[in-house]
Amino acid sequence: MTLLSPGLASTPTSPTRRPDTRRWLAAGAAAAVVIVAVIVVLVVGGGSSTTQPIAPVPLPHPGPGPASMFTPASQLTTAPAATIDTLAALGVDQVHVYLHWADIAPDPNSRRRPVFDAADPAAYPAANWAVFDTVVRDLKARHIAIDLALVPPPPLWAEGKGAPNPGEHPYWRPSTAEWGQFVEAVGLRYSGHYIPPGATAPLPRVDFWSIWNEPNLGIELAPQAVPHTRIEVSGTLYRQIVDAAWRAFAATGHGHDTILIGETAPAGATFGDAPGLFAVMSPLRFLRALYCVDAGYAPLRGLAARQRGCPATAAGSATFAADNPGLFHASGYANHPYPQGLAPNEPTPGQPDFAELAATGNLERTLDRLQQVYGSHTRFPIWSTEFGYQTTPPDTESGVVSPTRAAYYLNWSEYLTWLDPRQRSYDQYLLDDPPDGNFASGLETATGLPKPGFYAFRMPLYLPYTATRSGHPLAVWGCVRPAPNAARATHRTQVVAIEFQPGGGGAFRTVERVPITDRHGYFDVPVTFPGSGNVRLAWTYPRGPQIFSRTVVVALR
């Protein structure tokens, strides 16, 4: 809820929108989107109208986040130098880097396994490592953290038996033995001690990892379920994938690194025979199967347990946590909380097993309850590792919004993320839109022109309420994402200006100056505006241009 001063009348900035279908459902079905309403909490205090710096009000949580994470996908490997330059200028804290198994493996399109030592990084083609070595070196040199996500597709020779179209779906029951050796090779290569053949210095160490990508999605891991039944299969497969990776990380000196599990898509098909082999399973249903409990969170027993690869007896459940340490001792849970066209806090009743941004509380409670079933007190931090809004033009899929609305929704989404101390990152998926316009969630067009979301991401601005009585303050929340890097480079505290333009027109003028002291660039201050008009943020790069946020309209009555 929002706590306001007595008698303060305010208007929330919360437009509504009907739910749309999601991209994941194109894998086999369509389903309604659920987002559970989030009610924000913010204390609005007094403010001045001078241009002198004012002290930021305390953050509403003592946590360290959210860090800004960016997932540029293939652009990072096709144009690493230019992409990293842009991410550094945007002030990104961490980059989510996809390292696809098939991109590294020898003969990935062959059904016959090549003869090689899969646990030895030198046994893989050197050219296959080259671009990832470059990305790791360059990100380290720019002091940008790395989340190295080890993701599918597997090489075709690692496909399991029983695929309906053998040779066409390498995601089918991938060999966990081969997967574990691959993770071991990656762990050795980026241990901080490995010197590639022909090199004179070791590669940098990577100490942050994610295991797989969207394991509840049939085109990433199959089968999802036994057709025409309620028997989940992907939870068993992912449990084995996590276990194999966990052992490989421990064997290569990464046992104390940050290791994320999950990486789940936020929605699912919930009707008929879905998800079947290749559709998408609702993430909370997937989690219950992963942790071997039924819909009431009781441990599975007998046939139901055996069908899902779970312990069938109480004695087996008693050792489940010890037998699956990654599920209980991982550093956090990664989520892809796309609202996909909906307002960030808009609820859609009837789908309690979805995990969009506004349903993050449901995800947190589910994870906690699953731990408690086995006597664990782990409370996983939540990491957003894919997030964004698709825009039209150019995207024509359902669930798209205009570029301007996307910019507004992005800032609102980040504000809601910031309010939850358990959420450790806020992610942006894609820098540039794909050339074909499909899933156009980038901050730039396919030709590299900035969209409104580019400016919204670089310097977010959000006012939970935009109308009040004259003389009363409004809360102004924002972030100058590049400011912490600028402060470190110049050894000077950076200051952002809150500017106001009267509704009748005229120039913007500074009404508050706020020092940026948060390590991720966030601030939250009460400001009393002189009247109705437009509000924006202004900040200047050291030895660089002045930049501005998007503009927010405020109304005083």
Among residues 461, 492, 513, the one where a domain terminates is 461
Structural domain for 301, as ranges:
67-461
- Is residue 522 a contact partner of residue 59, using CB atoms and an 8 Å limit? yes
- The pLDDT score that the predictor gives to residue 104 is 98
| pLDDT band at residue 273 using 50, 70 and 90 as cut-offs | confident
- The pLDDT score that the predictor gives to residue 42 is 34
Within 10 angstroms of residue 296's Cβ, the number of other Cβ atoms is 6
Within 10 angstroms of residue 452's Cβ, the number of other Cβ atoms is 18
pLDDT in tens, 413-459: 999 999 999 999 999 999 999 999 999 999 999 999 999 999 999 99
User: In terms of residues, how long is the chain?
Assistant: 557
pLDDT in tens, 334-370: 999 999 889 999 855 689 999 999 999 999 999 999 9
For residues 175 and 201, membership in a common domain is answered with: yes
Can you name the residues that pair with 499 across neighbouring β-strands?
510, 536
CATH number at residue 511: 2.60.40
pLDDT in tens, 101-122: 999 999 999 999 999 999 999 9
pLDDT in tens, 316-334: 999 999 999 999 999 999 9
For residues 452 and 520, membership in a common domain is answered with: no
Q: Tokens for 461, please give them.
A: 């601005």
| pLDDT band at residue 63 using 50, 70 and 90 as cut-offs | low
For residues 457 and 476, membership in a common domain is answered with: no
| pLDDT band at residue 390 using 50, 70 and 90 as cut-offs | very high
Query: What letter represents residue 271's amino acid?
Result: F
For residues 403 and 471, membership in a common domain is answered with: no
For residues 420 and 475, membership in a common domain is answered with: no
For residues 457 and 525, membership in a common domain is answered with: no
Among residues 461, 496, 512, the one where a domain terminates is 461
Is position 9 within any domain? no
For residues 312 and 335, membership in a common domain is answered with: yes
For residues 374 and 454, membership in a common domain is answered with: yes
Query: What letter represents residue 214's amino acid?
Result: E
For residues 328 and 387, membership in a common domain is answered with: yes
Residues 6+ apart with CB under 8 A from 33: 19, 20, 21, 22, 267, 339, 340, 341, 342, 348, 351, 354, 356, 399
Q: Tokens for 361, please give them.
A: 């509380």
CA distance linking residue 332 with residue 264, whole number of Å: 13
For residues 547 and 402, membership in a common domain is answered with: no
Is the pTM value of this prediction over 0.95?
A: no
For residues 124 and 267, membership in a common domain is answered with: yes
CA distance linking residue 440 with residue 76, whole number of Å: 17
The per-residue pLDDT of the chain, averaged, comes to 89
Q: How many domains does the chain have?
A: 2
CA distance linking residue 60 with residue 38, whole number of Å: 15
- Could you tell me how many helices (H) and strands (E) the chain has, helices first? 15, 17
For residues 336 and 442, membership in a common domain is answered with: yes
- Is residue 465 a contact partner of residue 11, using CB atoms and an 8 Å limit? yes
Higher pLDDT, 11 or 170: 170
CA-CA-CA-CA torsion for 360, 361, 362, 368, nearest 10 degrees?
110
Bond into 515 cis (ω within 30) = no
